[in-house]
Structure 1
Amino acid sequence: MAEHWLMILIEIIFVVNSFAAILTVFRDRYRDITSIWAWMLVLLLFPGIGFLIYFLFGRKLSGHHIFNMQTQEVLGIDKIADNQQKEVIALSDPERYVEEQAFIRLFLQNEQAIFSNQNEVNILTDGHEKFEQLFIDIKAAKHHINVEYYTIYDDKLGNEFVDLLTEKAKEGVRIRVIYDSWGSGGKNNKLYQRLREAGGHVEAFLMPKWQVMSLHVNNHDHRKLVIIDGDIGYIGGFNIGDQYLGRLDKFGYWRDTHLRVVGDAVLAMQSRFFMDWNATNKYQKLKFGEEYFPSHDTGGDVAMQIVSSGPDSDMNQIYQGYLRMISMAHESITIQSPYFIPNQAIMDSLAIAAKSGVHVRIMIPSKPDHMFVYRATEYYASVLANEGIEVYAYNKGFLHAKTIVIDNRIVSVGSANMDIRSFSLNFEVNAFLYSERVALEMEAIFEEDLLDSQLLTSEYFAAQSSWKRFKQFFSRLLTPIL
């Protein structure tokens, strides 16, 4: 008798859970269909617990937050972008950028991403080199330092970074810091206390006081920006923490890619920071001013645009840029990404490019950072290896670079991975560069990385155990929500 009632109770729980799952996931008309079915799988496989997971990771950004992000002034940059659109493109040498004009128009139209062609760019691939140069530039700051990172850890490097900012704040330099609460392991009030006491301002991105009630673990501020006096900008993949100096045994040597930029592209980074700050801080709004947007005459030779994307827009600007790069390549495509979980359009474009004679090479890490994500990465790597595409695993340490180079002429470096999370869930920012010199330098870096990498052939994946292949396949089912 007891077993009979237990079975009835189980059936009721199953029916109620299924109905609640359908109501919860399908009520959002604008959610991607693959994401809908992935969340249905989670909610049905894990009754009760699945809804807790959905509450933390599945809810989309609130309409209030989206409104705040979308209604920020672009602070003078929009006027430049409008003028460039009206003139088709304001280039000093339009014959140099025949194929690139399609990119430039795309980003001007979708993102108001101004085009500038006289920037100085230095590529930084080693953490010690990056932070040594960054600290030198911070020490020389005169007016302001604006910082935005996904991760600022409360460890040795994180404290050295905050200590330096605190010293500059005491000198009268205006310091503003935005960090992602989830990526940095909490609000870290203790870490920033001395900086605030010195007059610096620190905010958790889009995180109000009552954070539990508005928790959106699935929408991260994944951007990595530092702007110093409006003259120098940093953009790329490095966060702030000891692991980025290779101090954690779990990862070993940390291989990443970051850019140090001098020129008008820094103004676009500044504008991005202003919008993020104004959406996060309700009481200390930043406004356009020459002290934050100085004119530059660097004599540099690198043309570029700063492009951002996030759940506050349906344009998926960086994803569109990635897809455009792959589809227009004639000779070569080189990709580095720690999390390689592309959608079907990217997969098809890569396969078509390879079958059309384009030399396609992809590099991923050889060790996991997030287990499900890594197994899904392995799954997609195996599919491409079976298509005859060269896929390499970096063995020297952990590969965290997010880069694409096509035809030795167009480059993308930034915070966006080649995965669905970066395409639509995270707030990201990338630099798209139109420079043969930078492209060749990036290709040389890739070739050097090959010396510490292993080619993953179709035979390599076929030799893996059935259990490992099952984990890869199962993780792939969750890719829309990873």
Structure 2
Amino acid sequence: MKIFLVILCIIAILIFLLYMDYQLGKRAQQKRIDRKNHPFRYTDFHIYSDGTELFPALFQAVKEAKSHVHILFYTIKTDSISNEFLHLLKTKAHEGVEVRLILDWLGSINIRKRIRRKLKQAGVQFAFCQLPTFPFLFYSLQVRNHRKIAIIDGKIGFMGGFNIGKDYIHENFKLSPWRDYHLQLIGEGVDDLQREFLIDWLKASKINLLQNQVYFPAQTKGETRHQIIPTQGVYLEELLCNLIKNSKRSLLIATPYFIPSKRVTEELLRALHRNVSLTILIPNKADHMLVKEAAFPYLRKLLKDGASVYQYMNGFFHGKLINTDNEIMIVGSSNFDRRSIFLNHELNCCIYDPVFIAKMNKITTMDLEQAKELSLEDLKRIHLWSMVKEWLARLFAPFL
């Protein structure tokens, strides 16, 4: 009995220490971050929703690079498509092109030392970001750089939801076909992508290239008015709440993970009470444990008050999009969950152009046609194991 009590005490102390580490680390992070919104820009966009179309375009842009290639991904897998991409980066470095690659330490932990050594030997400048650090080790392990950025010669940019790997070109049997949203940029907004990359490069490598004008060539003015918005575990909640609060007619939220904060949930409920039409598109399949069940409590509240919820049935849905009144659309890397809101480094593009929004609406309409409507009764009829997973998901919701 005494041994059991000792074990319980040790577990309780560990939980308390982890809790304090998380809370103090979060507080320290919030004090360090300054709010930063880039100016309104005009850029030409192309939207990709299929990896088999995105990867050839991205790879070809890298092949044609003359000056520099800057790449940041949360995850690069260790499979054939990833090896092809890394080989391409090494080839460009051999040609004398400056190649810089940032990967999230935990998201790309499978990129072993041998792979990194070969990249560096080829001339690729490599750095991991978001390594765990003291004194808040547990908190720093939770904070991930979830951005996906590529800039070629300072002229062509890519950002959105895709990472690099076979999963994203429909070669994961359980999750195929993979659906996602990714932007290609040509024009003024590429400067802001470049600046965000170089800020992350400074943090990861301790090398400051922000004042080097070679990375900021003259840009053409594009057609689409937009704003690049970076967040680092702060201010995303405010952005989401303001969008929802100002909605008048309709809201579409497309996301792979629906685990909103309390404040965001309350704003969604208020929007429904104002007779705003709320549509939520989520995947039927889950790619991580508990994330599907974690959404259930929030979806029940919203369904009860009139929201429409659709589960994407044709593979796995990983797109991240918010459409407010067909006037403002956000596409980027952040999920509609607490991890993106309170922890991760994310990068989103807020678009104000009716032509682009109409084009994007055709894609989301197709995705909704591939979805099945979820009812409140469906969520009341879940089986015992789903109830157990939902209970567990409540405990771990901030980290899912």
Tell me the TM-score range normalised by the shorter chain. Answer: over 0.9
* 2:276 alignment counterpart: 358
Structure 1 stretches lacking a partner, 5+ long: 1-6, 32-59, 71-108
For 1:328 and 1:442, the matched residues in 2 are separated by 21
Go from structure 1 to structure 2 and tell me whether the alpha carbon gap of 1:169 and 1:479 turns closer, same or farther (over 3 Å shift): same
Q: Counterpart of 1:110 in 2: which secondary structure?
A: coil
Are 1:317 and 2:241 an aligned pair? no
Match of 1:114 among 39, 42, 49: 39
> How far off is 1:62 after superposition?
11
> How far off is 1:198 after superposition?
2.2
For 1:341 and 1:21, the matched residues in 2 are separated by 23
> Could you report, residue by residue, the CA deviation over 1:143-181 in whole angstroms, capped at 9, with x for unpaired residues?
111000000111111011111111211221100000012
* 1:151 alignment counterpart: 75
Are 1:455 and 2:377 an aligned pair? no
For 2:94 and 2:275, the matched residues in 1 are separated by 58
* 1:286 alignment counterpart: 209
Mean Cα deviation higher: 413-422 or 199-208: 199-208
The residue type paired with residue 420 of structure 1 is: R
Go from structure 1 to structure 2 and tell me whether the alpha carbon gap of 1:450 and 1:196 turns closer, same or farther (over 3 Å shift): same
> How far off is 1:322 after superposition?
1.6
Task: Check whether the contact 2:40–2:227 (CA below 8 A) recurs between aligned residues.
Answer: yes
For 1:394 and 1:442, the matched residues in 2 are separated by 17
Find the structure with the greater CA-based Rg. 1
* 2:103 alignment counterpart: 179
> How far off is 1:124 after superposition?
0.7
Task: Check whether the contact 1:254–1:398 (CA below 8 A) recurs between aligned residues.
Answer: yes
* 2:228 alignment counterpart: 306
For 2:52 and 2:348, the matched residues in 1 are separated by 22
Are 1:270 and 2:194 an aligned pair? yes
Structure 2 stretches lacking a partner, 5+ long: none
* 1:339 alignment counterpart: 257
For 1:66 and 1:191, the matched residues in 2 are separated by 35
- TM (norm. structure 2) is 0.92
For 2:36 and 2:388, the matched residues in 1 are separated by 40
The aligned runs of 1:79-90 (5 Å cut-off) are none
> How far off is 1:383 after superposition?
2.8
* 1:422 alignment counterpart: 340
Are 1:371 and 2:289 an aligned pair? yes
Q: Counterpart of 1:379 in 2: which secondary structure?
A: helix
Task: Check whether the contact 1:111–1:317 (CA below 8 A) recurs between aligned residues.
Answer: no
| Percent sequence identity over aligned pairs | 33
Q: Counterpart of 2:226 in 1: which secondary structure?
A: strand
Task: Check whether the contact 2:130–2:144 (CA below 8 A) recurs between aligned residues.
Answer: no
* 1:396 alignment counterpart: 314
Are 1:205 and 2:129 an aligned pair? yes
- TM (norm. structure 1) is 0.77
For 1:222 and 1:114, the matched residues in 2 are separated by 22
The residue type paired with residue 223 of structure 2 is: D
> How far off is 1:372 after superposition?
1.5
Q: Alignment RMSD, CA only?
A: 2.5
Task: Check whether the contact 2:179–2:318 (CA below 8 A) recurs between aligned residues.
Answer: yes
Q: Counterpart of 1:477 in 2: which secondary structure?
A: helix
* 1:87 alignment counterpart: none
Q: Counterpart of 1:371 in 2: which secondary structure?
A: coil
Task: Check whether the contact 1:169–1:195 (CA below 8 A) recurs between aligned residues.
Answer: no
* 1:195 alignment counterpart: 119
Number of residue pairs the alignment of both structures matches: 398
> How far off is 1:360 after superposition?
0.8
> How far off is 1:476 after superposition?
2.1
